[in-house]
Amino acid sequence: MKIALAGKGGSGKTTVTAGLALLFGQDKKTVIAVDCDPDMNLGYALDFPEPGKIVPISAMKELIAKRTSSVDTQSSGYFKLNPEVEDIPGKFCPQHNNIRLIVMGKVQKAEGGCLCPENAFIKRLISHLVVNEEVVLLDMVAGTEHLGRGTAQAVDAFLIITEPTQLGVSTGLHVYSLACALGIKKIWFIGNKVQHKADEDFLRKNLNAEPLGFLSFSQNLLAARGKFVFDDKLKKELLGIYKELNRRLK
């Protein structure tokens, strides 16, 4: 099962990614959680030991230069678009609580475009993951960065985390249009930070869709300062979303 999650900043997509990763892990699945967001907070959410010391893939300059054959070709601008990446998760990415974490990091885009060895390497790695691994959860930025058409077609579902605000809906619908343009067929919303039934009704009406599920605003998550913690209510709600996701993907 390959799932991409997106939403505006602060919508809770990293929190939902972490929660789903833990549920898949408890279900004895082999999970790879991929932090594609430049803020790189997924390691903190999943309570990885010393997450600030995890080296992002984009920062592995020597490895990327060697794998893309860009060491001696900087002046010409030529490099491999299909570098070897099969060993990257096992060799360079930490594992904790049955979850392998891959931190992509920031790519410094050159003027005039983003076609650079770092970006090519990251896109190739994501393509490899969504084709070959059992469960992959991609914590995306608000758009569809790193998802090319070929990769997008291998994603089983695209989940958009949406707050019950006009800005949250506007961003959610924009991301929906981007995902549709990539050819992704199964795109679903998750309502987050819901406090009243009126919030649920607002999302249904303005998204013109029935969300995969709703998550209540959680004071416990707020107090945890970025770390994902289950309480009884959150676990029940997220487990309902997890079961509905599995049902829709059958």
pLDDT of amino acid 143: 67
Please say whether the beta carbons of 135 and 246 come within 8 A: no
Please say whether the beta carbons of 159 and 172 come within 8 A: no
Stretch 147-153: mean pLDDT: 73
List the helix and strand counts (H, then E) for the chain.
10, 8
Distance of alpha carbon 63 from alpha carbon 151, whole angstroms: 23
> In this structure, what token pair is assigned to residue 34?
């991929």
CA angle 30, 6, 79 (to 5 degrees): 75
* pLDDT at residue 111 greater than cutoff 50: no
Distance of alpha carbon 247 from alpha carbon 78, whole angstroms: 45
**Using CB atoms within 10 A of its CB, is residue 196 exposed (0-12), middle (13-18) or buried (19+)?**
exposed
148: left (phi over 0), alpha (psi -120 to 50) or beta: beta
Q: Whole-number mean pLDDT of the chain?
A: 88
Distance of alpha carbon 63 from alpha carbon 198, whole angstroms: 51
> In this structure, what token pair is assigned to residue 219?
């004071």
Tens of pLDDT along 36-58? 988 889 999 999 999 989 999 98
pLDDT of amino acid 112: 41
Q: 186: closest CA among 212, 147, 215, 148?
A: 212
Q: Kindly report which listed range (106-120, 128-142, 149-163, 233-247) carries the lowest average pLDDT score.
A: 106-120
Positive or negative, the CA dihedral 245, 86, 99, 149 is negative
Please say whether the beta carbons of 2 and 147 come within 8 A: no
Taking the whole predicted model, whether its pTM rises above 0.95 is answered as no
Q: What share of the chain is helix, strand, coil (3-state, %, to 5)?
A: 45, 15, 40
Distance of alpha carbon 237 from alpha carbon 213, whole angstroms: 8
Domains of the chain (ranges plus CATH)? 2-59+96-108+131-248 (3.40.50.300)
